[in-house]
Amino acid sequence: MNTCVRESQRYEFSFPSIDTVVEVETSAAGVIIHASRDTFSETRRASFLRMLAAEGFIRDEFYWRSPDSVRWIVDSSWFMPDAACAAQTRRCMQRLIFSTMALWLLLLSCLVLQPGRARSNPPVSGGGHSQASTGRPAGE
């Protein structure tokens, strides 16, 4: 009988209240836990391992075995995107900003240069009534 055994599995957990992302990597040799920040106390680490074993993410033997089978690594470099991904995101954002600026300038120029919006009569200055508005001839 042929069975397929996975060499390693990875699970990612997020803890927004303590601003930490944890990646759990399981293999036959043990469990490696990568944390983005050092925010887990020893009690919290034991509780997290107990939860992982109870939910089936890791085998029970890793929880009950010596601490040598579980390694905690605090390093945020695994969480950061690589240079190619950062460059692609930068190019996308530059295109988005430049196209938004071009659209804004186009709309602004359409607003300012609208045909038929030019004033044919200048506004009347002064606050008083003119003779034409009273309806009487100018000599009376």
pLDDT (tens digit, 9 = 90+) per residue, 88-126?
Answer: 999 999 999 999 999 999 999 988 888 765 555 666 666
Q: Give the per-residue pLDDT at 125.
A: 66
Say what the alpha-carbon torsion angle 103, 106, 111, 117 is, to the nearest 10 degrees: -150
pLDDT value of position 138: 60
pLDDT over 50 at 1, yes or no = no
Stronger pLDDT, 128 or 105, i.e. the higher one: 105
pTM: 0.50
- The whole-angstrom separation of Cα 105 and Cα 126 is 37
Name which of 40-54, 55-69, 74-88, 91-105 the model is least confident about. Answer: 55-69
70-74 sheet: strands from edge to edge: 8-15, 20-27, 31-35, 70-74
Residue 2 token pair: 């042929």
Q: Which residue has the tokens 């990875």?
A: 10
Q: DSSP label at 124?
A: P
